[in-house]
Amino acid sequence: MFQQMFKILMGRADENTKAPSLDSLLNSMDRHSDHLTTFVSPSPESKPRTPFDTDLPAREVGLANLKGRQRLQAISKAVPLMLNMQIASRMYDRPFVPTYNQASTEMIDRLEQMAHAAGAKDIRYVKVPPNAIFQGKKIPYSYAIVFTVEMDKEPIDTSPSWDSQHEVMRGYKNMAVIGNKLARFLRRNGFAAYPGTALGGVTDYVHLAELAGLGAIGYHGLLISPDEGARLRINTIYTNIENLPIQTENEHLWVRDFCAMCHKCVRKCPVSAIYEQPKPRGDGGMQCIDHVSCREYFTKNYGCAICLAVCPFSQVGYDKVKERFKGNPNAPQFHIPVDAIE
Ligand code: SF4
Ligand code: SF4
């Protein structure tokens, strides 16, 4: 996988080079959790993780066509991202024996200060419902810290482009670094902490972020938050801290009333992969995108991100959209039931 990835990034993919399987890499990282002696399992309604792989030959992958400086940029993000994902997955190899399961307010304050200083935009907490754990996966504890990192507007506005994909890679790299840093901090202070994988993950991060009150899921299937609109990435840390300041109210669900009028991402998607109206799923989440339709365009075109870029929340910001939105009483609602969390 790493050899194939290196060949692609260096522009050396030929007709015999297979596209690297990101799904295989992520599955191999997930298998570190087999060392856990106690864990939380998914529910029968849980969905499988959305696959990343396509049948495209390696030369058709957007990353295979980078120029010299772009290749260096890609390597400067891909290497620390992969290294930090490996470090995170190895934290599951030897389960940590915690000293405490209750954190003081001061401890949570220190955690949040550290998260912000490291580059996290927002941080919240959730009790993970088993239906948000992907089929066949497991997590060490049902409590999770959920945090976001912002992606800059200027490069995202150029989507689909290398500049945009580079910004997305920067976001993933930062999430991986921050997740490991916060997990080490908690462990040093006697709490169990296991970083989620920055890319992929074994839980539905968007679903968890909405449950945690960080924002609301838009029709493009991405989280829309007050700070960055949809220009964000999400990661988690699973922990044994039982008294996390979990918020059960979500003041952002009006966003989907706006979506029901807007549909801009639906219109702008070049392969019509976004549903006119999301479909509620058995696992409590909602299906917004036909991933099979999205995946090939996404892989060929630098991770696409058109839906993210054109969203009014990314363009003019949450506050302006809210100020101008007078409500849509006919909007169908697809709220993930926050009060379903035990
Ligand atoms: S582009 Fe419009 S419909 Fe799509 S997620 Fe953003 S606000 Fe909702
Ligand atoms: S990433 Fe691109 S192809 Fe995929 S849903 Fe968004 S706009 Fe459509």
pLDDT digits (tens, 9 = 90+) for 88-139: 999 999 889 999 999 999 999 999 999 999 999 999 999 999 999 999 999 9
Q: What single letter denotes the amino acid at residue 2? A: F
Coil, strand or helix: which one is 208?
helix
Q: Is 93 contained in some domain?
A: yes
What are the angstrom distances between the C-alpha of 98 and each of 141, 241, 315?
A: 12, 10, 44
CA atoms within 13 A on the CB side of 313: 31
Nearest residue (CA) to ligand 1, atom 8: 259
Average pLDDT over residues 266-283: 92
Nearest residue (CA) to ligand 2, atom 3: 294
Q: SS3 for 71-109, per residue?
A: HHHHHHHHHHHHHHHHHHHHCCCCCCCCCCCCCCHHHHH
Q: Is 284 contained in some domain?
A: no
CA 166–ligand 2 middle distance (angstroms): 17
Number of domains in the chain: 1
Tokens (6 digits) for 161: 């482009």
Residue 329 — very low, low, confident or very high, per pLDDT cuts 50/70/90?
confident
pLDDT at 20: 74
How large a percentage of the chain has pLDDT more than 90? Answer: 78
pLDDT at 217 over 90: yes
Digit-coded pLDDT (tens) for 125-147: 999 999 999 999 999 999 999 99
Q: Is 262 contained in some domain?
A: no
Q: Is 31 contained in some domain?
A: yes
Q: State how far the Cα of 332 lies from the Cα of 288, in Å rounded to an integer.
A: 14
pLDDT at 305 over 60: yes
Per-residue buried b or exposed e for 98-116, using 16+ beta carbons within 10 Å of the residue's own CB: beeeebeeebbeebbebbe
Q: What does the angle CA 30 – CA 34 – CA 39 come to, to the nearest 5 degrees?
A: 100
Radius of gyration (Cα) for the chain, nearest Å?
20
Residue 3 — very low, low, confident or very high, per pLDDT cuts 50/70/90?
low
Q: State how far the Cα of 156 lies from the Cα of 163, in Å rounded to an integer.
A: 7
Which-ligand-closest: CA of 297? 2
Q: Is 204 contained in some domain?
A: yes
pLDDT at 307 over 70: yes
Residue 341 — very low, low, confident or very high, per pLDDT cuts 50/70/90?
very low
Q: Is 304 contained in some domain?
A: no
Q: Which of 254, 9, 277, 27 is nearest to 134 (CA)?
A: 27
pLDDT at 58: 80
- In this structure, the strands spanning 232-239 and 274-280 are unpaired
What are the angstrom distances between the C-alpha of 76 and each of 166, 206, 210, 224?
A: 10, 27, 31, 28
Instruction: List, in sequence order, every beta strand (DSSP E) within the chain.
Output: 122-127, 143-150, 193-195, 216-217, 223-224, 232-239, 274-280, 286-289
Question: Where is pLDDT greater, at 20 or 179?
Answer: 179
**Strand order in 143-150's β-sheet?**
122-127, 143-150, 232-239, 193-195
Q: State how far the Cα of 139 lies from the Cα of 294, in Å rounded to an integer.
A: 28
The verdict on the CB of residue 264 being under 6 Å from ligand 1 is yes
pLDDT at 240: 98
DSSP 339: G
Q: Is 43 contained in some domain?
A: yes
Residue 342 — very low, low, confident or very high, per pLDDT cuts 50/70/90?
very low
* DSSP secondary structure string for all residues of 105-138: HHHHHHHHHHHHHHT-SEEEEEEPPGGGBPTT--
Q: State how far the Cα of 50 lies from the Cα of 150, in Å rounded to an integer.
A: 23
pLDDT at 12 over 70: no
From the CA of 266, give the closest atom in ligand 1: 4
pLDDT at 326: 80
- In this structure, the strands spanning 232-239 and 216-217 are unpaired
CA 54–ligand 2 middle distance (angstroms): 15
Question: Where is pLDDT greater, at 7 or 165?
Answer: 165
| Domain that residue 137 falls in | 2-239
How large a percentage of the chain has pLDDT more than 70? Answer: 91
Residue 199 — very low, low, confident or very high, per pLDDT cuts 50/70/90?
very high
Q: Is 259 contained in some domain?
A: no
The verdict on the CB of residue 334 being under 6 Å from ligand 1 is no
pLDDT at 65: 82
Q: What is the mean pLDDT of the chain?
A: 91
